[in-house]
Amino acid sequence: MKQVIIVRNDLGMSKGKLAVQVAHASVLAAFEAFRSKKEWFEEWWKSGQKKIVVKVSGEMELLELYEKAVRNGLPASLVKDAGLTELPPGTTTAVAVGPAPDEVVDKLTGGLKLL
């Protein structure tokens, strides 16, 4: 079981901003799994909450991955920044997929490069 967090590499976010966006995506998707795929969530929780962070080049790719995850019934989250610090309000920054079985998540995110 794992969760993959996908971030945009084109925004020039500081390391701190990037960390916060990854955290938002992870927590939101985990709560979605807790509500909709409780058995996946519990197995992921018991096994150490494996997370992997990968990158995409822009918003279009990020949105496509989110939509595919939702269509495939995977727990997923889409993060849009509030615009209080570095980015304009509503900027799409990150997506998390899972927790879900490794092979299911890999079908969607396996070709992406690590951040």
Task: Assign residue 40 the CATH number of its domain.
Answer: 3.40.1490.10
pLDDT interval class at 81 (50, 70, 90): very high
Q: How far apart are CA 87 and CA 53, in angstroms?
A: 20
Confidence bin at 56 (pLDDT 50/70/90): very high
Give whole-number Cα distances, 13 to 40, 94, 97, 104, in Å.
31, 12, 21, 29
Task: Please write the tens of the pLDDT for every residue from 9-34.
Answer: 999 999 999 999 999 999 999 999 99
The span from the CA of 5 to the CA of 26, in Å, is: 7
Coil vs helix vs strand at 43: helix
**What is the count of structural domains for the chain?**
1
Indicate the pTM of the whole model: 0.96
* Gyration radius (Cα) of the chain, Å: 13
User: What is the rounded average pLDDT of the residues 32-46?
Assistant: 98
Q: What is the mean pLDDT of residues 61-85?
A: 97
pLDDT at 103: 97
The range of the structural domain enclosing residue 66 comes to 2-114
